[in-house]
Structure 1
Amino acid sequence: MSTTDSAPDLERPLRADAARNRELILQTARKCFAERGLSVTLNDIAHEAGVGVGTVYRRFADKDSLIEALLSTKFEAMNAAAARAAEESDPREGLRVYLMGVFEFRARDRALADAIVRAGKARPSVVEERDRLESQVNAIIERAHAAGVVRAGFAWSDLPMLTVMVGAVADRTRDHDPDAWRRYAEVVIEGVLPPTGRQPMLGAPLDRATIEHALHGPS
C-alpha cells in the first residue's frame, strides 16, 4: 500500500462539496466493507453512494488508499473500547469486556480482520494507533494474569484467531439470528476466563433449519 496515495486527501483542505463527497464515500465504503468484506470494488462503492466512479477516484487513488483512510477510525474505536475495559476495577471483568467488545466489532464488520492485517503497511499514524491498541490490550491481559483469572499462556496474539472463529458464526447466522454469535462468543470467553460459578449459556440453541443454512448455505 502506498503511503502517498491517500496522504494528500488528508493534508490538503477540500472545498465543502468535495469534503461532503469524501465523507459520503467513506461512510458508504465502511458500510459496504462491513457487510460484504473487502471484495467490494470502488465501482460498487460509487454505485451505492450515488456518485460517479470518477468522484471516488479523485478522492482515493485506489481501494487500498480508501481502506487505509478507514483504518484510523477502526483503531480509534477499538482503542476507546480497550480504554473502557481498562477502567474496570475487576481484572477478569476488564478482559471479558474487551473480548466481548472486539467480538462485537467483528460481528458487525466482516472486513475488520483483513483491515487489521493491512495496518502494518499503512501510514505511520495508523501503525501508531495499532501499536497503542496492542499495548493497551497487553496491559489488560497482564493484569488478568497477575490476578490469576485467565488461562496460563493466553496472549494478545491469540485474539485474531478467536475473532475469526466468532466472526465465522456471525457471518453464517446473521440473516436468521443476528445475535447468535453472542452465545458462542461467551463460550470462547469462558474458555479464556474460566468462570467462578455456573452460569447458563447466553441465548438459545439454533434450530435445525438455521444450523443447516449456516453450515451449508452461502456465507
Structure 2
Amino acid sequence: MSSIAARPLRADAARNRALIVDAARRLFAERGLDVTLHDVAEAAGVGVGTVYRRFPDKDALLAGLVEAKLEGLLALAEKCTVQVSGRDGLRAYLFGTMALRAGDKALSNVVMRAAPSTAAAERLRGELSEVVGRIVERARAEGAVRAGFEPSDVPAVSSMIGSIADRTREEHPEAWRRYAALLLDAVCPPEGVLPPMEGVAPQSFLSSPPTCR
C-alpha cells in the first residue's frame, strides 16, 4: 500500500501532508539522511504526532518523497504529450526534468538511493516509463531526435544538469540553464536552428571554476 494515501484525505490532512513532504524535501536536501521526524515536524510547523500518523518512520517518509517526485514527473510528462509536435513535447519534457533536478539540491540522489521501494512507486515508475516512451517515439517519428537517444537516457541527462546546478548554485544559480540549452539542442534541436553553441554566451565562472561542495 502506498505510503502517501490509500484513500482521499480530508482537506486539513492533505494540507498537513503537503507541509510535511515539503519540509522533508528541504531538510533532506540540506542535511542528508541525518534528518529525524522530529526535525521534519518542527520545520513543517505541525506536531510530531501528525508526522507519525502520515509516516510511521523515516523509511515511510523517504518512500513518500520518492512517490511525490514520481507523481510530479508523471504530471509533467502527461502535459508534454499534448504539445503541438513531438519535437516540442520532447523538448518541453527534457527541459522540465532538468529544471526540476536543478532546483533539487541533490535530493534526488539522497532520497532515491535510500528510500525503500514501494508498490506505489513501482506503479508510478511504470506509468512514467510508458508516457516518456511515447514522447520520445513521437519525436523520433518526426526525425527530431538524435540517433541513439532512448527514453532511458532522460534521467542521465537531467542528472548532468543537476550536478552543474549543485556545483554552481551559490555563485551562479542560473548557470545550469546554459548547459541545459546545450544538451537540449544536442538531443532534440529546434527546427532550423544552428548547432547549440550558436548565440549562447559562456558564463563568467568558466574562467574560474567553483570548488565542489
* TM-score grouping bracket, smaller chain normalisation: 0.7 to 0.9
Cα distance in 1 for residues equivalent to 2:45 and 2:207? 35
Q: Is the counterpart of residue 205 in structure 1 residue 202 in structure 2?
A: yes
Stretches of structure 1 that go unaligned for 5 or more consecutive residues are none
Measured at CA, do residues 90 and 117 of structure 1 come closer, stay the same or move farther in structure 2, by a change above 3 Å? farther
Greater helix share, structure number: 1
Q: What is the CA deviation profile of residues 96-154 of structure 1, one whole-angstrom value per residue up to 9, with x for unaligned ones?
A: 110000001101113235545678811x2332222111101101111111111111211
Report if aligned partners of 2:77, 2:93 keep a CA contact under 8 Å in 1: yes
Give the SS at the match of 2:209. helix
TM-score of the superposition, structure 1-length normalised?
0.77
Report if aligned partners of 1:119, 1:126 keep a CA contact under 8 Å in 2: no
Cα distance in 1 for residues equivalent to 2:205 and 2:96? 29
How much has 1:158 moved relative to structure 2?
1.1
Q: Is the counterpart of residue 147 in structure 1 residue 142 in structure 2?
A: yes
How much has 1:49 moved relative to structure 2?
3.3
In structure 1, the residue matched to 2:87 is 92
Letter in 1 for 2:108: L
Q: How many residues align?
A: 208
Cα distance in 2 for residues equivalent to 1:191 and 1:175? 27
Q: Select 1:39's aligned residue among 33, 57, 62.
A: 33
Measured at CA, do residues 12 and 145 of structure 1 come closer, stay the same or move farther in structure 2, by a change above 3 Å? closer
Q: Is the counterpart of residue 29 in structure 1 residue 37 in structure 2?
A: no
In structure 1, the residue matched to 2:71 is 76
Letter in 2 for 1:41: V
TM-score of the superposition, structure 2-length normalised?
0.79
Report if aligned partners of 2:62, 2:111 keep a CA contact under 8 Å in 1: yes
Percentage of matched positions with identical amino acids: 42
Stretches of structure 2 that go unaligned for 5 or more consecutive residues are none
Cα distance in 2 for residues equivalent to 1:114 and 1:73? 15
Cα distance in 2 for residues equivalent to 1:14 and 1:149? 43
